[in-house]
Amino acid sequence: MNFLKAIILLLVTFTGSQIAFSQEEQRGKGTILIEYADFLEGAEKRLGKNVQALKGNVKMRHHNTIMFCDSAIIFRDSNKVEAFGSIHVIQNDTINLYGDKLFYDGDEEMAQVRENVRLVNKKVVLTTNHLDYDRRDDVAYYFNGGKIVDESNELVSSLGFYYPRTGEVNFKDSVVLTNPDYLIYSDTLKYYTRTEVVEILGPTDIVSDQNTIYSELGFYDTKKDEARLLKNNYIDGGEQTLRGDTIYYDRKNGFGEVFSSMELEDTANNVIITGNYGFYNELSERAMATRRAVLKQVYGTDTLFLHADTLRADPVDDDPENKIVRAFHHVQFYRYDLQGRCDSMVYNFRDSTNTFYHEPVIWAQGNQMTAGTIKLFTRNRALYKAEMIDNAFLIAPEDTMHYNQIKGKLMTGFFRDNQLFKIDVDGNGQTIYYPKDREYVIGVNRAESSNLTIFLENRKVDTIVLRNQPSGNMNPPLILAPEATKLDGFAWLEEYRPKDYESIFNFKKMELDVKRNDYSGYQFDQ
> What span, in angstroms and rounded, lies between the C-alpha atoms of 344 and 463?
35
Q: What is the pLDDT of residue 25?
A: 40
Q: Is 177 exposed, middle or buried (0-12, 13-18, 19+ CB in 10 A)?
A: buried
Selected from 3.20.20.10, 2.60.450.10, 3.40.50.1950, 3.30.110.40, the CATH number assigned to the domain covering 359-512 reads 2.60.450.10
Q: Where are the beta strands (DSSP E) in 180-266?
A: 182-192, 197-200, 204-207, 212-215, 217-221, 226-231, 233-236, 240-244, 246-250, 255-266
pLDDT beyond 90 at 225: yes
> What span, in angstroms and rounded, lies between the C-alpha atoms of 373 and 411?
11
Fold of 232-349: lipopolysaccharide transport protein A fold (2.60.450)
SS3 262: strand
Strand 168-179, strand 212-215: pairing: unpaired
> Most distant CA pair in the chain: distance in Å?
152
pLDDT beyond 80 at 35: yes
pLDDT beyond 60 at 230: yes
The residue type of 20 is A
Give span(s): CATH 2.60.450.10, the chain.
232-349, 359-512
Query: Among residues 273, 91, 73, 93, which one has the least CA distance to residue 256?
Result: 273
Q: What is the pLDDT of residue 197?
A: 95
SS3 210: coil
Q: What is the pLDDT of residue 398?
A: 78
**Chain mean position to CA 329:** 27
φ/ψ of residue 136, rounded to 5: -65, -45
Give the range with max mean pLDDT: 204-218, 297-311, 340-354, 498-512.
Answer: 204-218
Q: Is 514 exposed, middle or buried (0-12, 13-18, 19+ CB in 10 A)?
A: exposed
pLDDT in tens, 450-462: 888 888 877 677 7
